[in-house]
């Protein structure tokens, strides 16, 4: 049997680390099959992703200069460079690259273009330049909840309300997935935001979905099957799934200071906490999280960004915290070798924000999952894992204010770590079964 012909594919992800990274993981998987990839990326951001390109002979980066928009720092290119309040300006800046990207595509003449929900290659450009695939890094459980045609986001000329978002749309696969008031309010503020001109966030999102030739997901049917089927009936177009795209284990060794730190504890005793590359907490919530880790009584390593308004991690620590934890805990600011840490035999529990990439890294590790989602699809991911698949414990928050306490953080950890917890026992069994599925050798090739 002849092998299928190789394709030339252009990748145009939304300029956010949480989108660029999975697009590059997908590019590596496709290049492994012999396909040629042209990858659009902001000019200064390119250097931060060179190390993830496993096939430089087949994957070429095409740097794009991001135009300055009033209100943005002059060095800002991605959402990682700005607070969440300025993300609409990143969208506006990226929109201004549309002509450059269109000229590039006319020069490259690819067989297909993969684009993201806020990519400059939106429906306006994609419809003029041949086959396009909307490749979603947002999970099917999230998109089915928000964008199903069963949910009338505009009815009788009036925008839906935040209380409408507290419950799933009709015929949604599982009614156990719903939102608290504070979550619905935050989601409403996001998707009802006006972007360039008068177009709303969710309208632009939906237009990209409806105008593309096919939709792809970083997903697998073993986890997402019912939500994929439900959404496909709504959109009535071809759906493809790439599998979870779990990156290959890094070949580099774990940094020596973490080898020394983790090596000082018994196997299966350390809690690792990380909330992603872009999550920034308020100072009081930052301190509650650390105090909850301390209250658990277990050794821990926390990799966190400085809280808002604070220049350094040390400045943000609770009073007397450093002296109390001494050699039992460590708080680190900046990038860390997460996959290597999750593999370490001393690490037993992963406190995660439930970004899809981090969540999958946690699921294929031997660690138990404590889930602390903050926004967007993180919340839906946590509900899917906690309520439906029952493979982790979500930290409880206030119904109206959405705040967690040191006690709720500690309780979630202890639920999983205490041997006599029936809930913890069930979750550990379920998570081990799902891990076996995700590590199956033929999963992604299928």
Residues 295 and 351 in one domain: yes
Average pLDDT over residues 431-435: 94
- Catalytically annotated residue among 116, 122, 224, 377: 116
- Catalytically annotated residue among 19, 25, 35, 353: 19
Residue 262 lies in a domain: yes
If one counts every other C-beta atom within 10 angstroms of the C-beta of residue 413, the result is: 26
Residues 52 and 138 in one domain: yes
Q: CB of 363 within 8 A of CB of 369?
A: yes
Residues 315 and 213 in one domain: no
Mean of the per-residue pLDDT values for the chain?
A: 87
Residues 307 and 390 in one domain: yes
The SS3 call for residue 99 is helix
Start-to-end CA distance of the chain, whole Å, equals 18
Confirm whether 436 is a catalytic residue: no
Of the two residues 151 and 377, the one the predictor is more confident about is 377
Residues 171 and 299 in one domain: no
Instruction: State how far the Cα of 313 lies from the Cα of 331, in Å rounded to an integer.
Output: 8
Residue 445 lies in a domain: no
130-154 pLDDT, tens digit each: 788 999 988 999 999 988 877 776 5
Residue 430 lies in a domain: yes
Of the two residues 82 and 26, the one the predictor is more confident about is 26
Q: CB of 439 within 8 A of CB of 364?
A: yes
Domain end (from 241, 273, 294): 241
Residues 265 and 232 in one domain: no
Residues 212 and 276 in one domain: no
Residue 305 lies in a domain: yes
Of the two residues 432 and 309, the one the predictor is more confident about is 432
Residue 250 lies in a domain: no
Residues 206 and 338 in one domain: no
Structural domains counted in the chain: 2
CA neighbor of 142 nearest in space, from 234, 236, 231: 231
Residues 231 and 291 in one domain: no
84-103 pLDDT, tens digit each: 778 878 888 888 888 888 88
Q: What is the pTM of this model?
A: 0.89
Residues 269 and 392 in one domain: yes
Residue 1 lies in a domain: no
Q: Residue 172 is part of a domain; what is its CATH number?
A: 3.40.50.2000
Whether residue 274 is predicted with pLDDT greater than 80 in this model: the reply is yes
pLDDT for 289: 95
- What confidence tier does 352 reach under pLDDT thresholds 50, 70, 90? very high
Confirm whether 344 is a catalytic residue: no
User: Out of 140-149, 189-198, 370-379, which region has the weakest mean confidence (pLDDT)?
Assistant: 189-198
CA neighbor of 361 nearest in space, from 372, 347, 350, 371: 350
Task: Spell out where 200-250 has E strands.
Answer: 214-217, 239-241
Residue 249 lies in a domain: no
Q: State the Cα angle at 92 between 87 and 95, rounded to 5°.
A: 125
Domain end (from 209, 241, 273): 241
Residue 406 lies in a domain: yes
Domain range for 378: 256-439
Residues 83 and 217 in one domain: yes
The SS3 call for residue 117 is coil
Residues 43 and 167 in one domain: yes
């Amino acid at each position: 049997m002849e092998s299928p012909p190789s394709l030339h594919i252009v990748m145009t992800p939304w300029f956010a680390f949480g989108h660029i990274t999975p697009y590059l993981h997908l590019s590596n998987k496709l290049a492994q099959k012999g396909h040629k990839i042209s990858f659009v990326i902001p000019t200064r951001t390119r250097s931060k992703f060179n190390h993830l390109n496993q096939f430089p002979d087949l994957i070429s980066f095409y740097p794009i200069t991001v135009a300055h928009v009033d209100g943005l720092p002059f060095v800002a290119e991605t959402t990682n460079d700005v607070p969440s309040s300025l993300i609409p300006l990143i969208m506006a800046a990226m929109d201004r690259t549309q002509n450059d990207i269109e000229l590039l595509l006319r020069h490259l003449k690819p067989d297909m273009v993969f684009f993201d929900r806020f990519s400059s290659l939106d429906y306006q450009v994609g419809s003029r330049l041949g086959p396009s695939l909307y490749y979603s890094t947002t999970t099917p459980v999230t998109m089915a909840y928000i964008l199903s045609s069963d949910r009338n986001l505009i009815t009788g000329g009036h925008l839906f309300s935040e209380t409408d978002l507290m419950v799933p749309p009709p015929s949604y696969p599982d009614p156990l997935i719903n939102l608290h008031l504070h979550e619905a309010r935050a989601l409403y503020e996001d998707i009802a935001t006006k972007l360039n001109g008068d177009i709303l966030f969710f309208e632009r999102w939906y237009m990209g979905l409806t105008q593309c030739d096919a939709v792809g997901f970083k997903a697998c049917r073993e986890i997402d099957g019912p939500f994929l089927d439900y959404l496909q009936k709504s959109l009535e177009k071809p759906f493809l799934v790439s599998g979870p795209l779990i990156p290959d284990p890094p070949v580099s060794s774990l940094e020596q200071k973490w080898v020394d730190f983790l090596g000082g504890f018994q196997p299966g005793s350390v809690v690792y906490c990380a909330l992603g590359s872009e999550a920034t907490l308020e100072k009081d919530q930052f301190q509650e999280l650390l105090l909850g880790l301390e209250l658990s009584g277990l050794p821990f390593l926390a990799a966190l960004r400085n809280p808002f308004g604070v220049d350094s991690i040390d400045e943000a620590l609770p009073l007397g915290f450093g002296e109390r934890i001494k050699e039992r805990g460590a708080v680190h600011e900046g990038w860390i070798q997460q996959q290597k840490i999750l593999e370490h035999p001393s690490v037993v529990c992963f406190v995660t924000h439930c970004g899809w990439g981090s969540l999958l890294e946690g699921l294929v590790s031997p660690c138990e999952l404590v889930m602390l989602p903050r926004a967007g699809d993180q919340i839906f991911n946590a509900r899917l894992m906690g309520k439906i698949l029952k493979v982790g414990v979500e930290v409880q928050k206030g119904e109206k204010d959405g705040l967690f306490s040191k006690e709720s953080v500690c309780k979630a950890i202890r639920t999983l770590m205490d041997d006599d917890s029936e809930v913890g026992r069930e979750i550990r069994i379920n998570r081990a079964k799902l891990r076996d599925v995700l590590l199956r050798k033929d999963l992604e090739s299928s």
